[in-house]
Amino acid sequence: MARPIEEIKWQDLEMGAAVSERGSAREYKTGSWRSLQPVVDQDQCIRCGVCWLFCPDAAIKRSEDGSFEADLEYCKGCGICARECPVGCISVVIEEV
């Protein structure tokens, strides 16, 4: 998106309120909703990917080396990853402000 969401006025909308840029919701960082934050213990992690599969916000990043990590720009802090992790290597900590 060329401009931040806040600067887009009604005159800029397309005919029929169409949105021609796909996946532009990425501009909106839902991470600001969070009060709890998942932290992955990389030593215990078995790289199975269950946290990635169960995240409703697709907010788990897969890195090149196969490890998984929360994407704090989008993570809403629901805690599903910590609950579903088969080895319990994800802990939920209170976000520091």
Partner 1 sequence: MDKFSVFSARLVEKDELFTSGHRACQGCAEALAVRLVMKALGRNTIVAMATGCMEIISSPLPTTAWQVPWIHVAFENSSAVISGCESGMKAMMRKGKLPAKKINFVAMGGDGATADIGMGQLSGAMERGHDMIYVCYDNEAYMNTGIQRSSATPWGASTTTSPAGKISKGQFTQKKDMPKIAIAHNIPYVATACPSFPFDLMEKVEKAAAIEGPAYLHILSVCPTGWRIPSEEAIKYGRLAVNTCVFPLYEYEYGKYNLTYRPHPILPVKEYIQGQGRFRHLTPEDIDSIQERTRTEYEKLLKLSEEG
**Residue of 41, 67, 72, 84 interacting with partner 1 (CB under 8 A):** 84
**Residue of 58, 67, 87, 88 interacting with partner 1 (CB under 8 A):** 58
Cβ contact 34:81 at 8 Å = no
- Residues 51 and 57: their CA atoms lie apart, in Å, by 11
Can you say how many angstroms the Cα of residue 51 is from the centroid of all Cα atoms in its chain?
12
Query: C-alpha distances in angstroms, 88 versus 33, 51, 52, 60, 74?
Result: 24, 11, 14, 16, 22
**Residue of 41, 42, 44, 79 interacting with partner 1 (CB under 8 A):** 79
**Positions 8 through 47 that interact with partner 1 (CB under 8 A):** 8, 12-13, 17, 19, 21-30, 33, 47
Please give the residue ranges that form the binding site for partner 1 (CB under 8 A): 1, 5, 8, 12-13, 17, 19, 21-30, 33, 47-50, 52-59, 62, 71, 73-74, 76-80, 82-84, 92
